[in-house]
Structure 1
Amino acid sequence: MEHVTLLRQSETVRLDPDRLDELFLQLGHQAAEDVVCRALEELAARLTHVERFYRQGKMRDMRKCARSLGAIADQLGMEALARVARDVSGCSDAGDAVALAATLARLLRVGEVSLTEIWDEPAY
């Protein structure tokens, strides 16, 4: 009899609160909150698009979407999400299908945690 062990993947993310503080100082509380909400909606949509493009074999679109996702994440201080998005692009550029699949799965995990973590920040 074979035994299958399920490994639970969990990701810990850390946000750079200075990025958000800077945004709130520049725009004011209400405007910054609006910008953050729109950016989070865009991140969620791009995570979905990246996965869909990958499954459809549209690697050029997937890479472009991952790069823009990383840029938005970087602006919000989501360092881990930005880094993993860059890693997805790098794996795509290298043509490493195995690394791309693993890194994309990590991007989706980090993305999910990052989207919920930002609202746990005390000032927001």
Structure 2
Amino acid sequence: MANVTKLRCNETVRIEQARIVALYAQLGQQAAERLMASAIEDLAMHMVAIDAAVQKNQLGAFDDAVTSLIPLARQVGMTKLEQVTRDLRDCMRAQDLVASRAVLARLMRIGDRSLSEVWDLEDMSI
């Protein structure tokens, strides 16, 4: 009988709070809150589009979603999400399907945690 080892993937995500503070200072509280809510919604939508495009190997749709997600992630201080998205783009361009699927799984984990982290920040006063 073979032993099965279950690996737990647990990466810490941090949102660059300085970027969020700068957004609030630049835009004011109400506008910044609207921007953050919109960005979170858009990021989630682009993550779903990326997942679907990788699963179906649709490079055009993938490139469109990645091109939209990277600047959004940067704008709201999600640097790890931005980097993992770039890593996935590199794997897709190299046509490495195994690596693409692994990095896609990482992107989904990091993305979910990043979005949750922003929601938690929104609950605190900035």
CA displacement at 1:56 relative to structure 2: 1.6
Alignment of 1:80-95 (within 5 A): 80-95=80-95
RMSD of aligned alpha carbons: 1.3
Match of 1:123 among 110, 122, 125: 125
Distance in 1 between residues matched to 2:125 and 2:45, nearest whole Å: 25
Distance in 2 between residues matched to 1:67 and 1:61, nearest whole Å: 10
CA displacement at 1:67 relative to structure 2: 2.8
Aligned to 1:18: 18
Q: Percent identity?
A: 40
TM-score, normalization: structure 2? 0.91
Contact persistence 1:66–1:85 (CA under 8 A): yes
Aligned to 2:29: 29
TM-score, normalization: structure 1? 0.92
Alignment of 1:1-124 (within 5 A): 1-121=1-121, 122-124=124-126
Distance in 2 between residues matched to 1:74 and 1:123, nearest whole Å: 21
Q: 1:1-54 CA distances to partner (integer Å, 9 max, x unpaired)? A: 122121111121111111111111111101100110010001111111111111
